[in-house]
Amino acid sequence: MSSPRPRIHPAWLVAAVTLVCLLVASAFRSSAGVLLQPLEDEFGWSRAATSGAASLNLVVYGPAAPFAAAVMELWGPRRTVSASLLVVGLAAVASLFMDQAWQLWLLWGLVIGLGTGALALTFGAIVANRWFARHLGLVTGAFSAATAAGQVLFVPVVAQAVAGPGWRVAVGTIAALTLLCAVLCWRVVRDWPGQAGVEALGTGRPGSVPAAQPTDECPRGLREPLRSAVSALTRNWRRPAMVILLVSFAICGWSTNGIIQTHFVPAAHDHSMPATTAAGVIGLIGIFDVLGTVASGWLTDRYDPRWLLAVYYGLRGLSLIPINQMLEAHMTPALWLFVVFYGLDWTATVPPTIALCREHFGIRRSGVVFGWVYAAHMVGAGLGASVSGLLRSADGTYTRAWMLTAALCLGAAVLVLLDRRPRGPVTATPA
């Protein structure tokens, strides 16, 4: 006699913990812009020193993602993510005692950057591939929305803590949450559905796709994670699809984490807007991003991801053109429009991008390939943060930084339409 099926599939519990881990990890990236000014005020550090550490965080965070994805394929998400959360939490605790700029670069720039690289959306993509045979777009959209929810929850709270008890209280709180997540991940997450005695959610039902299997995810090359991660890039980087994904997602990173998340608060301050108000704007963008990204996942399950990306990048570029005229000392109707317009497609690009990775490179390789695409996103973010800061220092205004970013987004809208859908089933490139 077979045992009764659980009322709630374990995939949803694993997905819920994944959401929480992604949400807490996003606090380290979304809070950077709020922490720049108080660190400069307390220690006398220059904007170049603080924004440089933020840029280093973004740059090392990105390239860590494909290697972390390859390690997850060998050791499993449970051990990899739990260890990464532990390292990040301890580094954040250590940062409470720093008093030199090099310590900021080491702890927040390097260690936390590398640690959160294992908590990137590659983690969510691998969990979705393993645990879900249906609703892949919707699930990846929800995982992406968790990073936006981090903005909603953490940026305003961190800003209020900085204005009140101080930046150490804000960082200490985030560190404690991170360490709690390490315990939660270790207790709840399982690497494969079989370890929980079930199959992937939706297996065999109409509209399902083949879920990743242990034998599929551990071919010979993936037993050596570092070599496998490098191989995924070197064997595919000349393919037009790979180039389009890398370049377009780098522009996505430039136009989100790079300029808005890092420089919006300082840019608003240039127009006499209080830092708490500007941080609230970031939080509002995050609210609309949650809605937009989940909706994008639903759309990705139904429509061509290329056209979705073209619309998202095009609207993003158009919304950036008038932003410098919208910023004032207080919220205006035009700025409210920007919040809605920009927020809805902030990470809406993620579900269709992951879908294209699966479409072009197959279910077995898509996790590591998306790791490289996400690495390009964060390298683009780091470049965007640095270039925008340099333009601000040279001009005394962010005008050229906004215009450059708008042009890049409009170019990405055209670029993604040059991608051609593969004919027939995808054959994985051997490692």
Please report whether residue 45 resides in a domain.
Answer: yes
CB atoms inside a 10 Å sphere around CB 359: 17
Please report whether residue 115 resides in a domain.
Answer: yes
Please report whether residue 199 resides in a domain.
Answer: no
- In this predicted model, what pLDDT tens digit does every residue of 347-360 receive, in sequence order? 899 999 998 988 88
Please report whether residue 424 resides in a domain.
Answer: no
Paired tokens of 421: 């859908």
pTM over 0.85: no
Rounded CA gap, 290 and 22, in Å? 13
User: Residue 135 in contact with residue 12, Cβ under 8 Å?
Assistant: no
Q: Which amino acid does the sequence have at 335?
A: L
| Cβ partners under 8 Å of residue 253, min gap 6 | 58, 62, 376, 377, 378, 379, 380, 381, 382, 384
Q: Which amino acid does the sequence have at 357?
A: C
User: Residue 267 in contact with residue 280, Cβ under 8 Å?
Assistant: no
Please report whether residue 204 resides in a domain.
Answer: no
Q: How many domains are there within the chain? A: 1
Please report whether residue 125 resides in a domain.
Answer: yes
Mean pLDDT over 213-234 rounds to 62
Rounded CA gap, 173 and 170, in Å? 5
| pLDDT value of residue 90 | 94
Confidence of residue 81 (pLDDT cuts 50, 70, 90): very high
Res 224 pLDDT > 80:
no
C-alpha triplet 178, 259, 94: angle, nearest 5°:
30
| pLDDT value of residue 249 | 95
Q: Which of 3-7, 134-138, 214-218 has the highest mean pLDDT?
A: 134-138
Confidence of residue 430 (pLDDT cuts 50, 70, 90): very low
- In this predicted model, what pLDDT tens digit does every residue of 144-168 receive, in sequence order? 888 767 766 777 788 888 888 888 8
- In this predicted model, what pLDDT tens digit does every residue of 86-129 receive, in sequence order? 999 999 999 899 988 899 899 988 998 888 888 877 888 888 88
Rounded CA gap, 289 and 348, in Å? 7
Please report whether residue 203 resides in a domain.
Answer: no
Q: Which domain holds residue 122?
A: 10-193+222-416
What CATH number does residue 247 fall under? 1.20.1250.20
Please report whether residue 214 resides in a domain.
Answer: no
